[in-house]
Amino acid sequence: MSDTIRVGMVGCGRIADVHLPGILVHPRAELTAICDTSTDTLEWRARDWHVDKTCTDYREILDDADIDAVVFLTPHHVHCQQTIDALDAGKHVSVEKPVALTLDEVDRMIAAEKASGKVCQCSDNFRFFPPFVKAAEIVKSGMIGDPVSLRYVFCRADFAYGWAAEEMDTWRSDPAKIGGGWVTFDVGFHAYSLTHLIIGPVNTVSAWPRIEPGNPNREQPHVVTWTSADYPKFHGLFEFIDSPELVLETDKYPIRDQLEIFGTKGNVLVPTQYKSFRHGAPVEVYVDRQNIQYNDIDNRWEAGFENQMINFLNAIEGSTEPAWNLADSRRILQMAHAVGAAAESGEETVVASIT
């Protein structure tokens, strides 16, 4: 590999806007080629990003000896085969969450990674969002005592007033392509990875979905509770809310969320990672009758994507390990399937029982 890490990006939809900056700010990386099934998208992306190499078939990027690494920003159902093909072609790989649809697919990807000797990372911006990383550090330091509760609330507002992303309700409404409901295999995957970042392995899950009329693949609202493998007195709660008439002023996804963790002697609050309704410090801690505010933390939503990409590129250089590898993502996928099983059965499900 030359001194420059030459990157090919497969999938140039709206989300590519927040993946690209991490490549641009890295001192040794450059975007060399792009691929998308839409020729219109390729045309304006190539013009705006000043990229000469374009194609509509990702295998052309894999055949290009000048490309060192590939970033896949594609629908869920193609992640497995695209990743294996890229690893077999000797490319480093970053693939969007969820890493695949089934545990068997992930196992095949892990085998391909080991055989290739290349870096393969699952991309999840929540794992790299600075306030979430800081919250995890605070919990693990013991500052708030043993964790006893984590609550994450995610509210999706009126998308007519947010980021224009035409693909949002196309392939995501197809069960064969998304792999499960929106909560289980899309936004839910973020929350489940956040759980592992802050608390660690999950023991059991329970779930209560309400199916949106006319769309069997859309659970709204949805509540998930879970127990920890490491903390017997702990419980977690995720609440996913759909507020289709709520208008949020934002230039990105119209989302409002909040994370709060309680320990035996204090609590941590991350008010939101989105601009809408943002208030207070990026991270706040209440402990020992003190309210501690962490104001010097980058709380831009985009920062999670940038940090993830930088970590991936640094891992290729060999200066660090990928912070979110395939084994990690397999555990999150196992939890996602456990949530689906619990929602279908109406019973508490042991995560380890999902094979």
Q: Which residue segments constitute the domains of the chain, with CATH numbers given?
A: 5-124+304-323 (3.40.50.720), 127-298+334-350 (3.30.360.10)
| Per-residue pLDDT, 213 | 66
* 351 backbone dihedrals φ, ψ, rounded to 5°: -60, -40
Asked if residues 164 and 14 have their Cβ atoms less than 8 Å apart, the reply is yes
Residue with the bigger pLDDT between 154 and 279: it is: 154
For residues 22-45, average pLDDT:
97
Quick one: 53 exposed, middle or buried, by C-beta within 10 A (0-12, 13-18, 19+)?
Answer: middle
Token look-up 């990743």 returns 83
Residue 94's beta-bridge partner residues?
A: 71, 121
Asked if residues 89 and 10 have their Cβ atoms less than 8 Å apart, the reply is no
Q: Which uninterrupted H or E stretch holds 147?
A: strand 147-156
| Per-residue pLDDT, 166 | 56
Q: What is the mean pLDDT of the chain?
A: 91
- Work out the pLDDT band at 170, boundaries 50, 70, 90: confident
Dihedral class, residue 214 (left if φ above 0, else alpha if ψ from -120 to 50, else beta): left
Is residue 17 pLDDT above 90, yes or no? yes
Is residue 58 pLDDT above 80, yes or no? yes
| Per-residue pLDDT, 171 | 76
- Work out the pLDDT band at 263, boundaries 50, 70, 90: very high
| Per-residue pLDDT, 181 | 74
Q: What is the C-alpha to C-alpha distance for residues 278 and 248, in angstroms, rounded to an integer?
A: 11
- Measured between alpha carbons, how far is residue 86 from residues 100, 121, 214, 312 in Å? 15, 13, 38, 15
| Per-residue pLDDT, 8 | 98
Q: Is 81 helix (H, G, I), strand (E, B) or coil?
A: helix
The CB density around residue 237, as the number of other CB atoms within 10 Å, is: 14
Asked if residues 12 and 165 have their Cβ atoms less than 8 Å apart, the reply is no
- Of the candidate ranges 45-49, 154-158, 163-167, the one whose mean pLDDT is the lowest: 163-167
| Per-residue pLDDT, 165 | 55
- Of the candidate ranges 101-110, 171-180, 197-206, the one whose mean pLDDT is the lowest: 171-180
Residue with the bigger pLDDT between 155 and 8: it is: 8
- Work out the pLDDT band at 63, boundaries 50, 70, 90: very high
| Per-residue pLDDT, 270 | 95
Max mean pLDDT among 9-18, 159-168, 179-188 falls in 9-18
pLDDT in tens, 220-262: 558 999 999 999 999 999 998 888 888 887 777 888 899 999 9
Q: What is the C-alpha to C-alpha distance for residues 130 and 297, in angstroms, rounded to an integer?
A: 6
| Per-residue pLDDT, 308 | 97
- Of the candidate ranges 12-26, 205-219, 331-345, the one whose mean pLDDT is the lowest: 205-219
